[in-house]
């Protein structure tokens, strides 16, 4: 069965599984995404989900300075053991997160960290824009929800496209690392500083 590449990409972003694994799961599921997710979970992603509840109290804080000292980043990423904290794959991931924060300038770690009043204000602005553009009332809510999803993708670190491979999200990159290393890994918090910008404080995530 031929599977649309867009379906494979969407499943990969949702689960963090490899492209070929996603394609095979979709073929086995007859193109049904929900069934394909179940198949992937049964093959190992369910184990990764179980790891998410385990305490991650080790890890490292890394830093990155860019553009001749004009932009600086601090990132804390946690894992379960000091052994993994010294692992090259883990450290490479942390470095990639530093680069992501420097380049993409996320405002929040995850969508759960976006204050409700910020989301509501954004919705009001988007609704007003849609109505000013004479969009039909019946589709305005759909337009707003679609643009709110875009807002999350642009402003939440874990939902941003990875700068080294925009086909995957940071969440998918994290899920893949958890599956490969076998420990719970948590991007705990980050701060980004740019010369001349007003400080907005530390961007920290909530415990899952």
As a whole number of Å, the end-to-end CA separation of the chain is: 37
Q: Which of 15-29, 55-69, 105-119 has the highest mean pLDDT?
A: 105-119
Domains and CATH numbers, the chain: 5-51 (1.10.8.10), 58-110+156-204 (3.30.479.20), 115-153 (1.10.286.20)
161-184 per-position pLDDT tens digit: 999 999 899 999 998 898 888 888
DSSP 207: P
- Give just the sign of the alpha carbon dihedral 161, 81, 95, 186: positive
- The pLDDT value recorded for residue 18 is 67
12-44 per-position pLDDT tens digit: 766 666 677 788 888 888 888 878 877 877 666
């Amino acid at each position: 069965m031929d599977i649309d590449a867009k379906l494979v990409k969407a499943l990969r972003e949702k689960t963090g599984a490899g492209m070929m694994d996603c394609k095979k799961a979709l073929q086995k599921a007859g193109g049904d995404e929900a069934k394909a997710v179940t198949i992937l979970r049964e093959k190992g992603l369910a184990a990764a989900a179980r790891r998410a509840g385990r305490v991650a109290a080790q890890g490292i804080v890394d830093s990155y300075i860019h553009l001749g000292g004009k932009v600086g980043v601090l990132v804390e990423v946690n894992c379960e053991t000091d052994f993994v904290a010294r692992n090259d794959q883990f450290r490479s991931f942390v470095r990639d997160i530093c680069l992501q924060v420097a380049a993409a300038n996320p405002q929040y770690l995850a969508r759960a960290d976006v204050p409700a009043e910020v989301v509501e204000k954004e919705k009001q602005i988007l609704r007003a824009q849609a109505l000013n553009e004479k969009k039909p009332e019946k589709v305005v809510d759909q337009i707003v929800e679609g643009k709110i999803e875009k807002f999350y993708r642009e402003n939440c670190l874990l939902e941003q496209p990875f700068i080294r491979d925009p086909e995957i999200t940071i969440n998918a990159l994290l899920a893949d690392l958890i599956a490969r290393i076998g420990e719970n890994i948590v991007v705990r918090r980050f701060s980004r500083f740019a010369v001349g910008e007003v400080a907005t404080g530390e961007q920290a995530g909530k415990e899952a």
